Structure 1
Amino acid sequence: MRILYLEDEAIIAMETVEVLKDMGFTAINMAYSLPMAEKFMAEGKPDIALLDVNLSHGRTSFELGQKLLAKGVPVVFATGYASASLPADPRAMVIEKPVTPAMLERALEEAATRDGAEAGQA
């Protein structure tokens, strides 16, 4: 299964990549920036995406998440802030940091099976 993972904090990214490997993900496209994530998207549609919400320079991953959802890719947003302040989209999952491996696994499984995840497929 191929996952697009966007996280701009290196230590969190390295730890999470190991958790994703332990979960059985064999193709992990690790992006540290929006341009890098968009490059991975151009190379092929992932099966699922895990996106850090708040990125460096005041940027967020919401627009990227909407693009992925429109293509039918399940999305999990990870945030260190209250999830109630995030834009609502029934197709996306939101998890609050810090994230345990069990929380991450549950969120990815639920996102992959949500009925709304297919809404954007052509």
Structure 2
Amino acid sequence: MPRMNLRTNGSEERPVPSVVLIVEDNAIIAMNTESLLLDLGVADVRSASSVTDALALMDEVDFQFAILDLRLSEDETSLPVAERLLKAGTPFVFATGFGEEADMPAGFSHAPILKKPYGFEDLSRVLRG
């Protein structure tokens, strides 16, 4: 399938990020998200299922965008990853089944939310935003 660029308005093209990080503990959601991102034209998608794995990937790869499952398990959230992305100036969204009603921690109330379940159009929209 040919790769495509997303449009922000009628004449200005904004290319999709080349390298995207997915932090998601559900393997099926991570694989589906990776497939959708590749269909949208992302060249390199990396996945991590824990904060430790995500931070290790961030030591190796310069990500341009990230999709973070807010709650990775009962004991772990993706907030340490979000903090590091914020410091690096890397855009990200939180993915959650709670949508806009998610109880966002202090300092992250401004972060965009991608409501689960999400699909191609939802990812297209967040990559443009």
1:86 aligns with 2:104: yes
Task: Give secondary structure in 2 for the equivalent of 1:41.
Answer: helix
Contact map agreement 2:26 2:49 (CA 8 A) in 1: yes
Q: Could you tell me how far apart the structure 1 residues matched to 2:39 and 2:123 are?
A: 12
Tell me by how many angstroms 1:58 deviates: 2.2
The question of whether the paired residues in 2 share the 8 Å contact of 1:78 and 1:96 is answered with yes
Amino acid at match of 2:93: V
Provide, for residues 36-92 of structure 1, a one-character-per-residue CA deviation record: whole Å limited to 9, x for no partner. 1111111132001111111124211122112101100001110012433113443x3
Question: Residue 51 of structure 1 is aligned with which of 45, 62, 68?
Answer: 68
TM-score by length of 1: 0.82
Change (3 A) 1:82 1:18: closer
Alignment gaps of 5+ in structure 1: 111-122
Query: Sequence identity of aligned pairs in percent?
Result: 37
Does structure 2 conserve the Cα–Cα contact (< 8 Å) formed by 1:76 and 1:108? no
- What TM-score results when the alignment is normalised by the length of structure 2? 0.78
How far apart in 1 are the matches of 2:79 and 2:52? 14
Q: How many residues align structurally? A: 109
Select 2:30's aligned residue among 7, 13, 30.
Answer: 13
**Matches of 1:28 and 1:82 in 2, distance apart?**
24
Gaps of 5+ in 2: 1-17
